[in-house]
């Protein structure tokens, strides 16, 4: 890959997330030392049909936002919420406006919608490039685990 090329990975079909909804995805990314590390993300589809993404980790305690109930939103669905300590975040900016991490922000991720697919841009994800064994499934798609939202 050349110096001006950007890694792009398909996360899901754009219609897989309803307007005003969110989806959690557990990926693995390659860190600066070349090691594979968990990379949980949340993709939100706003009521205006825009896609916003963040690392699924509260800046206060590092836990998934949807821990506990599995829901990402406040009761009126106007804000993101941490299920552990109740921190409240603006959907469009990721800024915490109430709670133990007030003033801090969720870590944004770069998303693009390409040909009806929500894609993660600019991250080095782990891909399964092992040689196939005689009894292996030869599906060449990247495996993505989906958590309840």
CATH architecture group of domain 8-127+143-147: 3-layer Sandwich (2.102)
Closest among 52, 37, 41 to 95, alpha carbons compared: 52
pLDDT of residue 146: 53
pLDDT of residue 134: 47
Sequence-distant (6+) residues with CB within 8 A of 109 are 41, 53, 54, 55, 120, 123
Contact assessment for residue 75 and residue 90, using Cβ atoms and an 8 Å cutoff: no
pLDDT of residue 130: 44
In DSSP terms, which residues pair with 143 in a beta bridge?
none
Contact assessment for residue 109 and residue 120, using Cβ atoms and an 8 Å cutoff: yes
**Domain spans of the chain?**
8-127+143-147
Report the mean per-residue pLDDT for the chain.
87
State the pLDDT confidence band at 103, using cuts at 50, 70 and 90.
Answer: very high
Provide φ and ψ at 86, rounded to 5°.
Answer: 80, 15
Sign, CA torsion 30/33/37/39: negative
Closest among 68, 65, 91, 69 to 78, alpha carbons compared: 91
> What is the Cα 62 distance to its own chain's centre?
14
pLDDT in tens, 23-39: 999 999 998 898 999 99
């Amino acid at each position: 890959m050349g110096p001006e090329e950007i890694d792009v990975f398909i996360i899901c079909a754009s219609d897989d997330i309803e307007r005003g909804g969110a989806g959690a995805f557990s990926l693995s990314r390659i860190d600066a030392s070349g090691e594979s590390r968990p990379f949980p993300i949340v993709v939100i589809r706003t009521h205006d049909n825009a896609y916003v993404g963040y690392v699924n980790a509260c800046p206060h305690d590092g836990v998934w936002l949807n821990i506990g109930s599995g829901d990402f939103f406040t009761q009126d669905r106007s804000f993101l919420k941490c299920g552990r300590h109740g921190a409240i975040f603006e959907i469009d900016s990721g800024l915490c406006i109430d709670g133990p991490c007030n003033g801090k922000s969720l870590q944004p991720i770069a998303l693009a919608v390409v040909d009806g697919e929500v894609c993660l841009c600019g991250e080095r994800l782990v891909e399964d490039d092992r040689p196939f064994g005689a009894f292996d499934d030869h599906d060449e798609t990247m495996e993505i685990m989906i958590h309840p939202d």
